[in-house]
Amino acid sequence: MAMKRKHKRLTFVIVAMALVGVATGLVLYALGDGVSLFHSPTDIVTKAPDPNQSLRLGGLVEEGSVQRAEGSSSVHFRVTDLENSVDVVYEGLLPDLFREGQGIVTTGKVVNGTFIAEEVLAKHDENYMPPEAVDALKKSGQWQGDAQNANTGAAK
Amino acid sequence: MHRFANPTRFLKIAAAVQPWMAGLTIILFGTGLYMAFFTAPPDYQQGESIRIMYVHVPAAWMGMFCYAAMAVASAVALIWKHPLADVAAKATAPVGAAFTFLSLATGSLWGKPMWGTWWVWDARLTSMLILLFLYIGYMALQGAFDDRTRGAKASAVLALVGAVNLPIIKFSVDWWNTLHQTSSFMKQGGPSMPPEMWIPAVVMAVAFKTYYVWVLLVRIRQELTANKVRILRLKQVHGG
């Protein structure tokens, strides 16, 4: 009798856990991209969001696209997911990691196809390396720049 | 399994193992911290800030490890009514909560100079914050009933339901766009950093685990003693 009760409880826990798991899975599936922190440049280009709606854009700072206006802290650059890219204007201090080829996430609004940024955050990739190793790679010509670390998730 | 289930036998073994765990923790923690601060090289992008990672990553692992342990112990307590499982789950919660908080705090300190913000509501950070709330809820629920066994049962159910958050934390960086980077350690082809960087992190992770076993033994022993005292008091009251 005691054994039977244990079995009942075991079955109950397993079934309940499975149901909770399925329910959570369905909720997350329904939320879908809503859970994602940012939109890719392709999303912005194809969906043309409402200019009054604040949103986040994530991707790589396109090589050779950064232009700083003289005499002001205004910066122009393009954010790309290697398929599409979006013009971004930002006024303010950029994080230390900001540079061409770097993954960033920026908050702002899309006005006439240009992203007016209010905040720019730098993304860090999962690759860590001592400075000497980078120098050695650069010397031997095997350094592929920051593009090798281009895992921003935006290209997915 | 049932040989260790006996609390008297368990107490004997625990008393013998505890000093070893304490010693191991001190040695490993000292070694890990020394490596993190002195032998590990700076990073080419983060500079010296990478040293935060040696506390942050092992602490985050601990937060998840302790929750998994707590959920398993809760299941054993619910299904097999094991007297020690309940005590073990209860003893695990504050340790897990402390390490989860530590990982959130150190992550925030790293985020400000690297990302440019203390906090962002991305899937990884949010699911980790939910983990902290689950721990706090678990501990609060335990004390919310006059009847201790009801409190234990309710909190065990919460621990099990909350376990769905563990895979969400782990895979949040793969399933959705997040500011948080993907895992540097558990990936195909090994860690994406040289050994002089990942070894200190692993040493710290092992030190945290032995610390957990140490604290767990202390707390289980203390809890079993407190139970004995409670039973004696009840006997006194009912006898007198």
pLDDT in tens, B83-101: 899 999 999 999 999 999 9
Residue A144: helix, strand or coil by DSSP?
coil
Torsion of CA A133, A136, A140, A142, to 10 degrees: 20
pLDDT > 80? residue B3: no
Give me the amino acid identity at A110: V
CATH architecture of the domain with residue range A37-149 = Beta Barrel (2.40)
Chain B interface includes A79 (CB < 8 A) = no
Torsion, Cα B110 B112 B115 B117, to 10 degrees, reads 130
At residue A150, the pLDDT reads: 44
For every residue of A49-108, DSSP letters joined together read --TT--EEEEEEEPTT--EEPTTS-EEEEEEE-SS-EEEEEEESPPPTT--TT-EEEEEE
Cα distances (Å, whole numbers) of residue B36 to B43, B62, B63 = 12, 18, 20
Mean per-residue pLDDT, B25-42? 95
Question: What integer pLDDT is reported at residue A149 of this predicted model?
Answer: 45
pLDDT in tens, chain A (156 residues): 556 888 989 999 999 999 999 999 999 988 887 888 899 999 888 887 888 889 999 999 999 889 888 878 889 999 999 889 999 999 988 888 888 888 999 999 998 889 999 999 999 888 888 888 888 888 887 776 654 444 444 333
Between these two residues, B109 and A52, which has the higher pLDDT value?
Answer: B109
A28 touches chain B (CB under 8 A): yes
- pLDDT value at residue B6: 76
Question: Is residue B105 domain-resident?
Answer: yes
B200: number of Cβ within 10 Å: 24
State residue B63's pLDDT score.
97
A138 touches B at CB < 8 Å: no
| Contact at CB, B114 and A122, closer than 8 angstroms | yes
Domain range summary for chain A, segments of one domain joined by +: 2-34, 37-149
* CB within 8 Å: B161 and A131: no
Chain A hits for B77, CB-CB cut-off 8 Å, are: none
Which residue in B128, B165, B159 sits closest to B142, CA to CA? B159
Q: State yes or no: pLDDT of B198 exceeds 90.
A: yes
| Cβ contact A74:A63 at 8 Å | no
The confidence score (pLDDT) of residue B57 equals: 96
- Rounded CA-CA distance A66/B218 in Å is 58
ipTM of the complex: 0.82
Q: Judge whether B7 lies within some domain.
A: no
pLDDT for the residue numbered B55? 96
Q: Which of B18, B95, B22, B23 is nearest to B59 (CA)?
A: B95
Q: Residue A118's CB: how many other CB atoms inside 10 A?
A: 12
Residue A21, pLDDT score:
93
Q: Rounded distance, CA B108 to CA B97, Å?
A: 16
pLDDT > 90: percent of chain B: 76
Q: Are B180 and A103 contacting, i.e. CB atoms less than 8 angstroms apart?
A: no
Within 8 A of A95 by CB-CB distance, chain B residues are 114-116
Q: Please give the residue range of the domain that contains residue B57.
A: 50-176+193-239
Return the higher-pLDDT residue of B65 and B10. B65
Nearest to B44 by CA among A154, A64, A63, A143: A143
* A153 touches B at CB < 8 Å: yes
Of B131, B145, B132, B135, nearest to B90 by C-alpha is B135
User: The whole model's pTM is what?
Assistant: 0.89
Q: Between the CA of residue A67 and those of A32, A62, A72, A79, B143, what are the distances in Å?
A: 35, 11, 12, 13, 60
Locate A53 and state its tokens: 């709606």
Q: Which residue of A lies nearest to B194 if distances are taken between CA atoms?
A: A129
Asked whether residue B127 is assigned to any structural domain, the reply reads yes
In a domain, B4, yes or no: no
What average pLDDT does chain B have? 92
In 3D space, the residue among A60, A58, A94, A54 whose CA is nearest the CA of residue A74 turns out to be: A94
Span B212-226, pLDDT tens digits:
999 999 999 998 889
**What per-residue confidence (pLDDT) applies to A155?**
36
Q: Please report the pLDDT score of residue A32 as a whole number.
A: 80
Residue B82: Cβ within 10 Å count: 17
Domain count, chain B: 1
Residue A152: its pLDDT value, please? 41
In sequence order, which residues have a C-beta less than 8 Å from that of residue B116 and are 6 or more positions away?
A: A94, A95, A119, A120, A121, A122
So what's the pLDDT on residue A97? Answer: 87
At residue A87, what is the residue type?
D
pLDDT for residue B190 is more than 90: no
